[in-house]
Amino acid sequence: MAAQKSDGRKIVAQNRKARHNYHIAEKFEAGIMLTGTEVKSLRQGRASMGESYAMERGGEIFLINAHIPVYAAGGRYNHEPTRARKLLLRKREIEKLSGSLRRGGGLTMVPLTLYFNERGRAKVEIAMASGKRKHDKRASEKERDWNRDKQRLLRADN
């Protein structure tokens, strides 16, 4: 089921691999255009963002390959599970995102979290990110393990 955070967000899906595979540069919060059965399926806490990404098409940003399973009671009004979904951003944010993609530098738009905000609206947290190399991944794993061991040692001392 969906997790509840202290800031009123009800997290539906997270892209856990994104933080492992990418250096996160800048985050944006975007609304998402959904159909009724997609919202009902999300409220049940069912979604997957493991292989999803965002891209710009015709001056708009779309979430590609995010899997929202069909709603069981949807009948003939059900949706396509992996369809492209339009992200709702301000014009200035869209220009900033598409400009940094066009400029190059190896940046990609990666969705991090799909959640409901405190008002009950579905939101996606997307980030501009650059890919990590193998040695970067090893270094971040090493740092995470060291921090875990450090906390364990501090607890043992007290």
pLDDT digits (tens, 9 = 90+) for 41-64: 888 888 888 888 888 888 899 999
Q: What is the tens place of the pLDDT at every residue in 89-148? A: 999 999 888 888 888 777 888 999 999 999 989 999 999 888 777 777 788 888 888 889
- The CA distance from 138 to 30, in Å, is 31
**Are 156 and 58 a contacting pair, CB within 8 Å?**
no
- The CA distance from 42 to 38, in Å, is 6
Q: What is the CATH number of domain 6-132?
A: 2.40.280.10
**Are 43 and 54 a contacting pair, CB within 8 Å?**
no
Where do the structural domains in the chain lie, given as residue ranges? 6-132
| Residue labelled with tokens 């399926």 | 41
* Predicted TM-score (pTM) above 0.85: no
Q: Residue 114: what pLDDT? A: 92
